[in-house]
Amino acid sequence: MERIVLVGKPNCGKSLLFNQLTGLRQKVANFPGVTVELKTGQFNQFEVVDFPGTYSLHSLSKDEEIAVEKLNLAVDDHETKLVVCVLDAARLERSLVFALQVQALARRNNKAVVFVLNMIDEVERYGLQIDADALQAELGAPVYALSAKTLQGVSEFKNALPELVAQTTVPDALTIQLGEQTKFIERARQLNAAYGIRSDVVLKNQNRIDRFLLNNVLGGVAFLGIMFFLFQSIFTWAQPLMDGTEAAIGWIASTVTGWLGAGMAADFLNDAIFGGVGAFLVFVPQIMVLTLIIGILEDSGYLARAALICHKPLSLFGLSGRSFIPYLSGHACAIPAIMAARTIESPRKRLITMLTIPLMSCSARLPVYALLVAVLIPSDATFLGVFDLQGAAFFGLYFFGIVMALVVSTLMNLFTRKRHELNDMPFILELPSYRLPHWKPLLQRVLNSGVQFIKRAAPVIFIVSLCLWTLGYFPQGAGLEHSLLGKIGHFIEPIFEPLGLDWRYGVAIMMSFLAREVFVGALGTMFGMSGAEENIAGLAAQIQADGLSLGAGIGLLLFYVVALQCVATVAMLRAETGKSRIAWGLYVGYGVLAYCIAALAAHII
């Protein structure tokens, strides 16, 4: 299929133009370990490929290197017929530097180039104009002025595309060769002086808003407000959707198993498929809501400001200002948080951020915390006479997770510093204009996040779910206590002894590898209670009567703060880092750390 390649500097409106050309059917190609994402869609009979926004053909990081390499390959490919360079009409100079480089690259490969002067609506809003015809003559390639937002000029561009693709001779106007670095910069400056609009006009609005949003006091308040809103929305908006999904899965499960009648097949479907895999689908709405909000923050331009505000404090722990949003999101779910870490400029800091995100207390830990806190602390106890002690304990657990993450990241930073100092990306951040986000790229992103999660995590979850179910189910009819899993639990009881826990807890911990919240239901089963998830207080009373020492209980709580008991997170880490070694190593590492902390707590208290 004939291919059109779309390139441009970040924030030039390339994603929106891509979406306007291709509609919603897109494919996303990811490359393991890097953030490079190539989006492919269809426009008429052509394949359109959207390349990541870049400032230059000279790469700074591994990610950029791969993006540039892919671009080189694509421009060289004989299927590629046309390279579209998207320019931000309001920032002609900056967007031309990269666009001119691409033009030179295309010319070397004998490929046609067309320039899109995007955001023309903004230029006109200032009451200004850009002489596209004269610019076209200077550039030696067609220039189309349009706005991907208001759609002005877009249909003309669409109509012209087939002809542009079909052209066989490439006009030869450009005289700068690839490699003549500074000439591109000079030429861009020259063209901007002749055709561009004045920068103070463009930046006036943005700087006015920044005076407020980056103000030491007001900006801080706004930041806290926005982050509080983000945090709240994950829980309050996502909750009904999650409940809905859960109810839907439950309904399908009961309908299907109803047809089958009782028996092993029904048990398998009910517990392994609907119970195990289904429990994961419940997280999809949460992941999508979180992606939506992060997307809004990014497209509106606020994400860059948030990174700026957080940079200094987080850099003390070896993190970037851009680590803040992933950390915050990690309190809902590690999956979207790990995906959000893609915006971090330095590969090393991105890795450190991803590896410490699982220490944030995600919502799957809530039921576990709720159960154990109810067991250990009487509900009427107060802390310092005013605070509810149970509430204070919850706060303490969240806080412990954050402290652990910062400690671990500081250590990781210290140990990896020497090796990577040289090829690390420094913190240079463009503050884009504030804009109202467009729903199309947002919707695309939200759908993608759900699909990616399912694609990456589902296979592993299915396998783990299958194994756990088999171990817990056979010998048939024996119940969990006498199942293979129960036997293993008895066998490895000595491992849990230093934690002050018996085999029942061991089995529940093993079961909860699928997802932490499974712990509650599994422990309930061990205590002869079904549906413990709905009756946490009842189970807590039973455990109290059974006698769980304070030290062991606190140890168990801390274990759940630290341990990476989530197969979906492991799968995601593997996909994002490109290395199973890192993902499973982290699982074992946090497991050992959690175990030691729990043993310590059981001993001291």
Partner 1 sequence: MKTLWDLAANQSAVVDTIDTQLTTSVISRLEEMGFSEGQCVLCIRRSPFKGPLVVQIGDCVYSLEQSVADKINLALAS
Chain contacts with ligand GDP (rule: CB under 6 A): 8, 10-16, 53, 118-119, 121-122, 147-149, 299, 435, 437-438, 441
512 within 8 A of 566, measured Cβ to Cβ = no
Which positions from 394 through 433 interact with partner 1, judged by CB under 8 A? 422-423, 426-431
Give the residue, chosen from 202, 371, 408, 468, that forms a contact with partner 1 under the rule CB under 8 A. 202
SS (H, E, C) 112-125: EEEEEEECHHHHHH
State the binding partner of 429 from ligand GDP, partner 1, none, CB within 5 to 8 A by kind: partner 1
Nearer to ligand GDP, 17 or 468 (CB): 17
Determine phi and psi for 575, rounding to 5 degrees: -65, -40
Q: Rule CB under 8 A: say whether 55 interacts with partner 1.
A: yes
Q: Tell me the CA end-to-end span of the chain in Å, nearest whole number.
A: 69
Q: E strands along 319-408, which residues? A: 382-383, 387-388
> Nearest residue to ligand GDP, using CB?
13
Q: Which is nearer to partner 1, 11 or 291 (CB)?
A: 11
Please identify, using beta-carbon distances, which residue of 7 and 290 lies nearer to partner 1: 7
Is residue 58 within the footprint of partner 1 (CB under 8 A)? yes
Q: How many CB atoms lie within 10 A of CB 549?
A: 13
DSSP state of 171: P
Q: Answer whether 424's CB lies under 8 Å from 346's CB.
A: yes
**Which among ligand GDP, partner 1, none contacts residue 182 (Cβ within 5 to 8 A by kind)?**
partner 1
Enumerate the β-bridge partners of residue 37.
30
Coil, strand or helix: which one is 506? helix
Sign of the dihedral through C-alpha 284, 280, 235, 231: negative
Query: How far is CA 206 from each of CA 181, 198, 435, rounded to the nearest angstrom?
Result: 30, 14, 9
16 binds, among partner 1, ligand GDP, none (CB under 5 to 8 A by kind): ligand GDP
* Pairing status of strand 3-8 against strand 80-88: parallel
Query: Nearer Cβ to partner 1, position 212 or 387?
Result: 212
Per-residue string for binding with partner 1, 210-239, x by CB under 8 A?
A: x---x-x-----------------------
Based on CB atoms, which residue is closest to ligand GDP, 444 or 525? Answer: 444
Partner from partner 1, ligand GDP, none contacting 12, C-beta within 5 to 8 A by type = ligand GDP
Q: How far is the C-alpha of 502 from the C-alpha of 499, rounded, in Å?
A: 9
In this structure, the dihedral spanned by the alpha carbons of residues 158, 160, 166 and 168, taken in order and rounded to 10 degrees, is -140
Tell me how far apart the alpha carbons of residues 78 and 67 are, in angstroms, rounded to a whole number: 19
Name the residue nearer to partner 1 (CB basis): 59 or 245. 59
Query: Rounded to the nearest whole angstrom, what is the least distance from the CB of residue 215 to partner 1 in the complex?
Result: 9
| Binding partner of 58, given ligand GDP, partner 1, none, CB within 5-8 angstroms per partner class | partner 1
Q: At what angle do helices 218-236 and 199-213 cross, to 10 degrees?
A: 80
Angle at which helices 283-300 and 218-236 pack, to 10 degrees? 150
> How many binding residues for partner 1 (CB under 8 A)?
42
192 binds partner 1 (CB under 8 A): yes
Distance CA(97)–CA(90), nearest Å, equals 14
Nearer to partner 1, 431 or 596 (CB): 431
Question: In angstroms, what is the minimal distance from the CB of 349 to partner 1?
Answer: 12
Could you say which of 28, 203, 256, 458 contacts partner 1 (CB under 8 A)? 203
Residues that bind partner 1 (CB under 8 A): 55-56, 58-60, 90-94, 97-98, 181-182, 184-185, 189, 192, 196, 199, 202-203, 206-207, 210, 214, 216, 304, 308-309, 311-312, 315, 321, 422-423, 426-431
